[in-house]
C-alpha cells in the first residue's frame, strides 16, 4: 500500500510518499515547499525523535520546491537524517554541456564564473550544498546525474522494501539547457528567497461560467523554462500500485518517456493510482499528449494559487472533459480550486473535488 501526503506548501510542492509493509514504513520526502511554508513541514515531524527518510528528493532549483528543504536541513534541533539525497547540481549537468559548447567551451564557461560546482543554492554555502557533499548524494546513481538517457531502458531504482522509482525526467537535453543558465536560475532563486513574504491574493470571478469544452480545446503552448525542464519526475510503484510524481516537468518530456515505458511494458496506457500534476496545474505542463497516455482517476494539485493563480482552468478542463469519475485533490482551498466545486459542473462532467480540513492539515490519499 502507498500513502501519498500533500502538505501545505504555499505555491509549491511538499510531498511525503510512504510504503507501508510488514509493519514498517518506508518514507520519501519529495520537495519541501517554500521557506514560508516550512513551519507546516516542521510541525509534521516535530514529535518524532530524529525523523528519518529513506530518501529526500529535491526535484529542481526553484524556491517553491527547494526552499523548505533548505530550512529542514538547517534545522539542527529537528535532527533529520536520510539514507540518500537525490538532486542534480551543476556538477551533474556539466557533462552534458560538451555537446553544446565543446570541451574548450566548457572550460571557458567555468572560467568566466558562469557556474561552479558549489553553486547549489542560496549564498552558495547553504545547507543543501554542505550536507549533500558531506553526506549521501545521488548514491543510487553512483553519485552521478539523475537522468533519463535517450536510449536504453529508463532508470529504475528499487529501494529496500520493494518500492521502485522510475526516472521520467530530466533528459540530457533538458539538463544541458539548465546548465547553460544555471547561475542565472540560482541567482533568481536566491533573490526570491530574500524577498519578504507577501500574502498576495487572487482576483478570480467565481460567478463567471466555465466553458469546459472551450477551455479543453484551447491551443496548447508548452513550458520551456529551463529550471522546470530539469525537474526530477518519478513513477513510484510497489506491486500493482503506482503514482506519477511529475514535479514541474516539461510535458513533451513526460509524453516521450511515458511512451518509452509503455513500449517497454507492452501497454497502451499507463495505469496509476494517482498523478501529482506538473507545475501546480499549469496549462503549459498539463497537456493532452501525456494525459492521453495515463489511466488514472486521482489528480493532485499542490498550490495555494497566490503566485500564478494555479491551477489553470485549461489544465483542469483537459482532465475532466474526456474522463469520468475523476477526483481532483487540492491541498489548498484557493479561489482557483474552489471554482471547481460547482455542483452543476461536477454533475455534468462526472468529477468530484477533495480538500483538506480547515485547520491547515495535509491532504492524504491511500493508494491500494
What percent of the chain has pLDDT above 90? 67
Q: Across residues 146-160, what is the average pLDDT?
A: 95
d(CA 114, CA 160): 39
The reported pLDDT for the residue numbered 295 is 98
Judge contact between 58 and 65, C-beta under 8 A.
yes
Is it the case that residue 33 has pLDDT exceeding 90? yes
Largest CA distance in the chain: 62
- pLDDT band (50, 70, 90) for residue 130: low
Entry field: residues in the chain: 368
Question: What backbone phi and psi angles, to 5 degrees, belong to 290?
Answer: -100, -30
Higher pLDDT, 74 or 168: 168
DSSP assignment letter at 134: H
Q: Across residues 181-199, what is the average pLDDT?
A: 63
The reported pLDDT for the residue numbered 1 is 87
Q: In this structure, are strands 2-6 and 15-21 parallel, antiparallel, or unpaired?
A: antiparallel
The reported pLDDT for the residue numbered 160 is 85
d(CA 359, CA 43): 13
Higher pLDDT, 152 or 136: 152
Q: In this structure, are strands 270-271 and 85-86 parallel, antiparallel, or unpaired?
A: unpaired
d(CA 148, CA 339): 37
- pLDDT band (50, 70, 90) for residue 194: low
- pLDDT band (50, 70, 90) for residue 201: very low
- Closest alpha carbon to 170 in 285, 287, 249: 249
Structurally, at CATH architecture level, domain 2-194+206-367 sits in 4-Layer Sandwich (3.60)
Question: What backbone phi and psi angles, to 5 degrees, belong to 344?
Answer: -65, -40
Q: How far out from the chain centre does Cα 197 lie?
A: 22
Give 356-365 pLDDT, tens digit per residue: 987 778 999 9
Question: What backbone phi and psi angles, to 5 degrees, belong to 10?
Answer: 60, -130
CA angle 17, 14, 18 (to 5 degrees): 10
Among 12-21, 187-196, 342-351, the minimum mean pLDDT is found in: 187-196
Judge contact between 67 and 40, C-beta under 8 A.
no
Give 308-341 pLDDT, tens digit per residue: 899 999 999 999 998 999 999 999 999 999 999 9
- pLDDT band (50, 70, 90) for residue 161: confident
Q: Across residues 225-233, what is the average pLDDT?
A: 94
Could you state, in order of their start, the residue ranges of all structural domains in the chain? 2-194+206-367
Amino acid at each position: 500500500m502507498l500513502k501519498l501526503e500533500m502538505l501545505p506548501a504555499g505555491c509549491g510542492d511538499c510531498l511525503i510518499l510512504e510504503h507501508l509493509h510488514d509493519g514498517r514504513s518506508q518514507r520519501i520526502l519529495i520537495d519541501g515547499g517554500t521557506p514560508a511554508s516550512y513551519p507546516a513541514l516542521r510541525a509534521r515531524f516535530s514529535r518524532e525523535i530524529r525523523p528519518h527518510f529513506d530518501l529526500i528528493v529535491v526535484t529542481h532549483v526553484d524556491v517553491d520546491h527547494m526552499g523548505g528543504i533548505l530550512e529542514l536541513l538547517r534545522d539542527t534541533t529537528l535532527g533529520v537524517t536520510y539514507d540518500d539525497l537525490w538532486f542534480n547540481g551543476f556538477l551533474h549537468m556539466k557533462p552534458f554541456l560538451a555537446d553544446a559548447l565543446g570541451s574548450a567551451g566548457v572550460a571557458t564557461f567555468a572560467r568566466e564564473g558562469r557556474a561552479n560546482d558549489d553553486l547549489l543554492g542560496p549564498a552558495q554555502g547553504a545547507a543543501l550544498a554542505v550536507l549533500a557533499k558531506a553526506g549521501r548524494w545521488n548514491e543510487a546513481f553512483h553519485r552521478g546525474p539523475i537522468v533519463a538517457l535517450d536510449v536504453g531502458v529508463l532508470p529504475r531504482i528499487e529501494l529496500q522494501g520493494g518500492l521502485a522509482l522510475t526516472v521520467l525526467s530530466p533528459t540530457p537535453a533538458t539538463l544541458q539547457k539548465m546548465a547553460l543558465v544555471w547561475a542565472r536560475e540560482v541567482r533568481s532563486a536566491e533573490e526570491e528567497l530574500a524577498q519578504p513574504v507577501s500574502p498576495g491574493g487572487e482576483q478570480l470571478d467565481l460567478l463567471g461560467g466555465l466553458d469546459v469544452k472551450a477551455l479543453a480545446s484551447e491551443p496548447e503552448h508548452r513550458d520551456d523554462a529551463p529550471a522546470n525542464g530539469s525537474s526530477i519526475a518519478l513513477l513510484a510503484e510497489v506491486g500493482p500500485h503506482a503514482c506519477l510524481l511529475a514535479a514541474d516537468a516539461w510535458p513533451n518530456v513526460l509524453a516521450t518517456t511515458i511512451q518509452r515505458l509503455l513500449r517497454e511494458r507492452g501497454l497502451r496506457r499507463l495505469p496509476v493510482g494517482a498523478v501529482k500534476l506538473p507545475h501546480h496545474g499549469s496549462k503549459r505542463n498539463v497537456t493532452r499528449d501525456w494525459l492521453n497516455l495515463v489511466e488514472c482517476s486521482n489528480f493532485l494539485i499542490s498550490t495555494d494559487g497566490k503566485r500564478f493563480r494555479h491551477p489553470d482552468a485549461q489544465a483542469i478542463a483537459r482532465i475532466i472533459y474526456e474522463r469520468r469519475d475523476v477526483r481532483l485533490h487540492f491541498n489548498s482551498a484557493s479561489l482557483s480550486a474552489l471554482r471547481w466545486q460547482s455542483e452543476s459542473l461536477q454533475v455534468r462532467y462526472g468529477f468530484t473535488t477533495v480538500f483538506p480540513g480547515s485547520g491547515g492539515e495535509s491532504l492524504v490519499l491511500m493508494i491500494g
